[in-house]
Amino acid sequence: MRTAIYVDGFNLYFGAVKDTPLKWLDIHAMCRMLLPSHEIVRIRYFTAIVSAREPGDQSPVNQNVYLRALRTCPFLSVHLGHFLTHVKKLPLVNPIGDQTFAKVLKTEEKGSDVNLATYLLRDAFRDEYDAAVLVTNDSDLLEPVKVVKQELRKTVGIICPHKHPSKQLLAQATFMKQIRQGVLEACQLPPILTDSKGTIHKPTDW
């Protein structure tokens, strides 16, 4: 069965690998382990470039290194959204005297879910897969999942990075698998890789 994988990068990160030593995840290897009977023909990874939150923050550097490493995986392409940062006035839970609101700097990731939905539908209309598998737990993707399954008659699976799968996605998916600790441990990239730009080293703090 020709299978295309659509990875919600931030959902995967926050659901499965944040605050663990398993961030150096080989997504292609993970998908092969979880989908042994599928012929993986494409993996699309959706994310946005992070910014440093404080001096010395290595997050942007580490993310760039990881994206370089991911691009060495077979059939994998990276699709970038963006972040919007703006000042927003929000109410205080516990007002201080006459002060009932505070201005906060809010950062929002934009584009990844729309990009994922767009490519999921585009590839289905072009008949580029028999099965689509989404690595996510985001119920905002429910409608495109329904269209692909009900209107385009494709198999749609969910690989859930979170402990508690979305009931909405679960109700529509043809099948669902969860990412277990053992899978993450077994599917780590080599600590040193090479690409056209040179050598890629796993971040020391990962």
pLDDT computed for residue 102 by the predictor:
76
What long-range pairs does 117-126 form, CB within 8 A, spacing at least 24? 117/141, 117/143, 117/144, 119/6, 119/44, 119/79, 120/6, 120/144, 120/145, 120/148, 121/147, 121/148, 123/4, 123/42, 124/148, 124/152, 124/154, 125/152
pLDDT computed for residue 110 by the predictor:
61
> How many structural domains are present in the chain?
1
DSSP reduced 3-state for 172: helix
Residues 30-82 have pLDDT tens digits of 999 999 999 999 999 999 988 877 787 888 899 999 999 999 999 999 999 86
Residue 103 inside a domain? The answer is no
Range of the domain at 177: 2-82+109-201
Residue 100 inside a domain? The answer is no
Amino acid at 103: K
Encoding tokens for residue 121? 């539908």
Measure the CA angle with vertex 29, ends 70 and 148; round to 5°.
85
Q: What is the CATH number of the domain that holds 76?
A: 3.40.50.1010
Residue 23 burial (C-beta neighbours within 10 Å; 0-12, 13-18, 19+): buried
Higher pLDDT, 205 or 201: 201
Residue 16 inside a domain? The answer is yes
Alpha-carbon span 33 to 181, nearest angstrom: 13
Residues 19-44 have pLDDT tens digits of 999 999 999 999 999 999 999 999 99
Across residues 169-180, what is the average pLDDT? 96
Residue 160 inside a domain? The answer is yes
Q: Rounded to 5 degrees, what are φ and ψ at 88?
A: -135, 140
Residue 96 inside a domain? The answer is no
Q: In sequence order, what are the residues at sequence separation of 6 or more whose Cβ sits closer than 8 angstroms to the Cβ of residue 120?
A: 6, 132, 134, 141, 144, 145, 148
Distance from the first to the final alpha carbon of the chain = 35
**Average pLDDT value for the chain:** 91
Across residues 165-191, what is the average pLDDT? 97
Residue 20 inside a domain? The answer is yes
Residue 56 inside a domain? The answer is yes
Residue 95 inside a domain? The answer is no
Please state, for a pLDDT cut of 70, what percent of the chain lies above it: 92
